[in-house]
Chain A
Amino acid sequence: MRPSRAYAIALRHFYLLRGSVARFLPLFAWVAIDMVLWGFMSRYLNSVAAAPGHDFVHTLLGAVLLWDFFTRVMQGVTMVFFEDVWSRNFLNVFATPLSISEYVGGLVLSSIATSVVGLAVMLLLASTVFGLTFAAYGVMFVPFLLVLFLFGIAIGIFGCAVVLRLGPASEWFVWPIPALISPFAGVFYPLATLPAWMQAVSRLLPPSYVFEGMRTLVSGGTFSGTALLWGGGLAVVQILLASAFFSRVHRYAVRTGLIARYSAESVS
C-alpha cells in the first residue's frame, strides 16, 4: 500500500472543499444548527422537567453531539465516494495502479479531516454557549468518540459498497442510514425502553454501548470499560466486514463490467 495514493484521494476532496462553499459549509453548518436547537431544547427541559441532579445538557445535547459526530464520519467517507459517482470518474480512478485498500484508505483519511472540523465546531458551541462540560464524561469521552468514529467508518464503507453495486440512484438508501440506526442505538433513551427484539439488535451496534455508558456516567453511576471495549471490538469487526463487502462488490463490478458502465451512467 502506497500512502501517497490514499493521500491523492483525500487531496482531491480537499480541492473540491476549498473551491466550493456548497461543499465546505455543510461540514459544520448542520451540526451547528443541531447544537443550537438541542441546546435550547435542553435548557427548556431543564427549566420544566429536570429531576434534581439531572442535567439535560449532558444527556440530550451530549447525545446529539456524539450522534452528529458519527453521522459526519459516515458521510465523510460516502461523500468522497459520491464525488467519483457524480463526476463519472470511476473509469479514470479504477484504471490506475490504485488498489482498493488505497482507495478506501483515501476515503477514511478524508473523513478524519472533515469530521474533525464538524466536531470542533460542535464542541465549541456546546461548551461555550450551553455549558456542556466534558468533565461529566471523564476520560471516557475520548473512547466514546473513537468507537463512534470506527462505526462511522464501517457504515460509510458499507454505504459506498451498496452504491457501487446498485448504481448512482441508490445513494438515497445511504443517506437515511443514521436515522434507521438511531432508534436501535438508544441515542436518547436507555436500551431497557426497547422491546426485547430491538435490544437484541442494539447489542450488535457499537453506539448503543457508547450511549448507555454516557447516560450512566452523567447520572453518577460507574460504567464498565469492558462494555465499551466490546463496542469497540464490534466496530473493528464491522470495519473488516464492510471492507470485505466493498472488495467483493468491486470484484463483482470488475467481473461484470459494472465499473466501465458506471461511467456511461447505464447502471440502474
Chain B
Amino acid sequence: MSKVLSVSALRKSYGDTVAVDGVSFDVGHGEIVGLLGPNGAGKTTTINMLLGVLEPTSGSIRIEEVDLARQRSQALERTNFAAVYSPLPGNLTVAQNLRIFGLIYGVKSLSARISELLEQFDLVRFRDTRCGVLSSGEQTRVALAKAMLNRPHLLLLDEPTASLDPSTARDIRGRIRDFAAQGHGGVLWTSHNMYEVEEVCHRVLFLSRGKVLLEGDPRTLPREHGRASLEELFIAVAREPLALGRA
C-alpha cells in the first residue's frame, strides 16, 4: 500500500515539557488509522503538527512525499480536516462556507462540487442556513463536507463523532468508510469511542505520554496484550503505560 502520510521521529516540546516524543508512523491510501490515547497523550498536538498550525521541534512530516515544513501549501492542498473543536463560522451559510473554503483549496468546478457534497451529506435543505443554527449532527456533516471539498488524499479527523447521537455517529462512520474504500485517500482518526474505532479503523496507534506505545489491528490487539476488549486495553494504556510498554 503506497503511503499518503509518513511521519518520522516527530517531536514537540515546550521548554522541559515534551508533548510528542519521537513519534513515527504512516498512513496508506485507502487505510483508516486510529490515533488513540488518554487525554494529554499528544493526539491533538500531533494532528496540529500535521495541519501545519504547530511547528515540530524536530522530525519530519511528508504528505505523499511532499515535505510539510518546506512546501506547506502544496502539502496542505492534499489534506483536509474536521475537528469537533473547530466548527465552521456560524455566521455564514452552509453554501457560503463551502464556497470560501473551496476557493482557498483551489477546487475546480466549485459550484458543481458544492452541489455534489450537499447531496452526499444530505445538506441540500440547509444550503442557505447559517451553520450556527444547525444541530451538532448537521454541523458535523457540514464540517465533513468541507473536509471532502478538495478530495483530500489525507483526511484528518479529530473526534468527528463526539457529541453525536448513535444514529448520526453511525451515519458519519459509514461516510468515512466509503471515502477510504474508494482508495484515493487515507484517514487519520482520533476518537475516545473504542466501539467505533474497532468498527472503522484498519489499524490503531496507542499514544501515551507523547510516544507510540502500541500499534496493530484493533480487533486482535487487545488479545495480544491480554485484554478482553479495546476499551480495556485503552484503560490499561491510560493507567499502566509502563507495564504495557515492557510487554
- Chain A positions near chain B (C-beta within 8 angstroms): 2, 4-5, 7-9, 11-12, 15-16, 19-20, 83, 87-99, 251, 254-257, 259-260, 263-264
Write out the residue numbers on chain B whose beta carbons fall within 8 Å of the beta carbon of A251: 55
Residue of B nearest to A2 (CB): B106
Task: Tell whether, in the assembled complex, residue B99 and residue A16 are in contact, meaning their CB atoms are under 8 Å apart.
Answer: no
Task: Tell whether, in the assembled complex, residue A16 and residue B106 are in contact, meaning their CB atoms are under 8 Å apart.
Answer: no
Chain B residues 88-117 with CB under 8 Å of chain A are 88-93, 96, 99-101, 103-106
Q: B64 on the interface (CB 8 Å rule)? A: no
Bound form: Cα–Cα A139–B99 in Å: 42
Bound form: Cα–Cα A98–B100 in Å: 12
Task: Tell whether, in the assembled complex, residue B105 and residue A97 are in contact, meaning their CB atoms are under 8 Å apart.
Answer: yes
Report which of B14, B86, B93, B104 forms a contact with A263, defined as CB distance below 8 A. Answer: B86
A177 to chain B, nearest CB (A): 26
Report if A97-B76 is in contact (Cβ < 8 Å); known contacts: A87-B91, A260-B48: yes
- Chain B positions near chain A (C-beta within 8 angstroms): 14, 44-45, 48, 51-55, 72-74, 76-77, 81, 83, 85-93, 96, 99-101, 103-106
State the 8 A-B residue pairs at the shortest beta-carbon distance, nearest first.
A8-B103, A95-B51, A87-B89, A97-B73, A91-B86, A97-B76, A260-B48, A97-B77
Bound form: Cα–Cα A4–B77 in Å: 14
Task: Tell whether, in the assembled complex, residue B53 and residue A260 are in contact, meaning their CB atoms are under 8 Å apart.
Answer: yes
Task: Tell whether, in the assembled complex, residue B99 and residue A11 are in contact, meaning their CB atoms are under 8 Å apart.
Answer: yes
Q: A254-B55, A257-B14, A257-B53 are in contact. List 18 more A-B contacts (CB 8 A).
A: A2-B106, A8-B103, A8-B104, A87-B90, A87-B91, A89-B88, A95-B76, A96-B101, A96-B104, A97-B73, A97-B76, A97-B77, A251-B55, A254-B54, A255-B55, A257-B48, A263-B86, A264-B85
Task: Tell whether, in the assembled complex, residue B103 and residue A257 are in contact, meaning their CB atoms are under 8 Å apart.
Answer: no
Task: Tell whether, in the assembled complex, residue A12 and residue B100 are in contact, meaning their CB atoms are under 8 Å apart.
Answer: yes
Report if A89-B54 is in contact (Cβ < 8 Å); known contacts: A4-B103, A96-B76: no
Task: Tell whether, in the assembled complex, residue A11 and residue B91 are in contact, meaning their CB atoms are under 8 Å apart.
Answer: no
Bound form: Cα–Cα A4–B102 in Å: 10
Write out the residue numbers on chain B whose beta carbons fall within 8 Å of the beta carbon of A9: 100
Residue of A nearest to B19 (CB): A257
A233 to chain B, nearest CB (A): 32
Write out the residue numbers on chain B whose beta carbons fall within 8 Å of the beta carbon of A7: 103
Task: Tell whether, in the assembled complex, residue B52 and residue A263 are in contact, meaning their CB atoms are under 8 Å apart.
Answer: no
Bound form: Cα–Cα A12–B99 in Å: 9
Task: Tell whether, in the assembled complex, residue A5 and residue B104 are in contact, meaning their CB atoms are under 8 Å apart.
Answer: yes
Bound form: Cα–Cα A97–B73 in Å: 4
Write out the residue numbers on chain B whose beta carbons fall within 8 Å of the beta carbon of A87: 89-91
Task: Tell whether, in the assembled complex, residue B53 and residue A15 are in contact, meaning their CB atoms are under 8 Å apart.
Answer: no
Report if A8-B100 is in contact (Cβ < 8 Å); known contacts: A92-B88, A96-B105, A97-B73: yes
Task: Tell whether, in the assembled complex, residue A99 and residue B73 are in contact, meaning their CB atoms are under 8 Å apart.
Answer: yes
Task: Tell whether, in the assembled complex, residue A92 and residue B86 are in contact, meaning their CB atoms are under 8 Å apart.
Answer: yes
Bound form: Cα–Cα A260–B106 in Å: 23
Q: List 9 A-B contacts (CB under 8 A).
A: A5-B104, A87-B91, A95-B81, A97-B72, A97-B105, A99-B72, A256-B14, A260-B44, A263-B86
Bound form: Cα–Cα A255–B55 in Å: 5
Task: Tell whether, in the assembled complex, residue A5 and residue B53 are in contact, meaning their CB atoms are under 8 Å apart.
Answer: no
Write out the residue numbers on chain A whose beta carbons fall within 8 Å of the beta carbon of B74: 97
Write out the residue numbers on chain B whose beta carbons fall within 8 Å of the beta carbon of A98: 73, 104
B152 to chain A, nearest CB (A): 11
Write out the residue numbers on chain B whose beta carbons fall within 8 Å of the beta carbon of A99: 72-73
Write out the residue numbers on chain B whose beta carbons fall within 8 Å of the beta carbon of A96: 76, 101, 104-105
Write out the residue numbers on chain A whose beta carbons fall within 8 Å of the beta carbon of B83: 91
Report which of A4, A15, A259, A260 forms a contact with B96, defined as CB distance below 8 A. Answer: A15
Bound form: Cα–Cα A229–B208 in Å: 61
Bound form: Cα–Cα A20–B89 in Å: 14
Residue of A nearest to B82 (CB): A92
Residue of B nearest to A19 (CB): B91
Task: Tell whether, in the assembled complex, residue B100 and residue A259 are in contact, meaning their CB atoms are under 8 Å apart.
Answer: no
Write out the residue numbers on chain A whose beta carbons fall within 8 Å of the beta carbon of B81: 95
Report if A91-B53 is in contact (Cβ < 8 Å); known contacts: A16-B92, A97-B76, A263-B85: yes
Bound form: Cα–Cα A29–B86 in Å: 34
Bound form: Cα–Cα A88–B86 in Å: 8
Write out the residue numbers on chain A whose beta carbons fall within 8 Å of the beta carbon of B55: 251, 254-255
Of B45, B85, B90, B104, most buried by chain A (CB within 10 Å of CB) is: B104
Write out the residue numbers on chain A whose beta carbons fall within 8 Å of the beta carbon of B93: 15
Bound form: Cα–Cα A87–B14 in Å: 27
Bound form: Cα–Cα A257–B17 in Å: 14
Write out the residue numbers on chain B whose beta carbons fall within 8 Å of the beta carbon of A2: 106
Write out the residue numbers on chain B whose beta carbons fall within 8 Å of the beta carbon of A20: 91
Task: Tell whether, in the assembled complex, residue B106 and residue A11 are in contact, meaning their CB atoms are under 8 Å apart.
Answer: no
B105 to chain A, nearest CB (A): 6
Of B72, B99, B100, most buried by chain A (CB within 10 Å of CB) is: B100
